């Protein structure tokens, strides 16, 4: 559902079923933003954030989660996340967060 809404807002979207699938793709070097759940199959969202940081890739990450506590939220933000939304959230809030990222320009 998120992919359709974001695509309808003039952004190109590529969805992945896991962090590992994303890391193995060409999207890693072309990605302008990640919308990332904390709880993923395999590698967690926080682990992916750290892996990208360790690799020198500075991809803005907006985390979404329905199961995060305040300390987890603060940890991902302190590690450089561009945003954090607790589920359920209004889609317009997500779109506003994406649009606020300085690296993104609508074509």
One pLDDT digit (tens) per residue for the chain, 107 residues: 888 989 999 889 999 999 999 999 999 998 999 999 999 999 999 999 999 999 999 999 999 999 889 999 999 999 999 999 999 999 999 999 999 998 655 44
Torsion angles phi and psi, residue 52, rounded to 5? -65, -45
CA distances from 14 to 2, 11, 77 (A): 11, 10, 24
**Which domain, by its residues, includes 47?**
2-99
CB 65 within 8 A of CB 94: no
Structural domains counted in the chain: 1
- pTM more than 0.85: yes
Q: Which of 56, 35, 58, 38 is nearest to 47 (CA)?
A: 38
CA distances from 106 to 78, 95, 101 (A): 28, 12, 11
**80 in any annotated domain:** yes
Q: What is the pLDDT of residue 2?
A: 85
CATH of the domain at 22: 3.40.50.2300
């Amino acid at each position: 559902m998120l992919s359709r809404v974001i695509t309808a807002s003039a952004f190109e979207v590529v969805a992945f079923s896991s962090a590992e699938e994303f890391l193995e793709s060409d999207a890693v070097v072309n990605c302008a933003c990640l919308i990332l759940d904390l709880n993923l199959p395999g590698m967690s969202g926080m682990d992916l954030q750290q892996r990208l940081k360790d690799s020198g890739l500075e991809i803005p990450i907006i985390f979404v989660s329905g199961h995060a506590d305040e300390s987890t939220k603060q940890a991902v933000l302190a590690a450089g996340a561009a945003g954090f939304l607790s589920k359920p959230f209004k889609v317009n809030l997500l779109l506003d967060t994406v649009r606020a990222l300085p690296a993104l320009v609508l074509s």
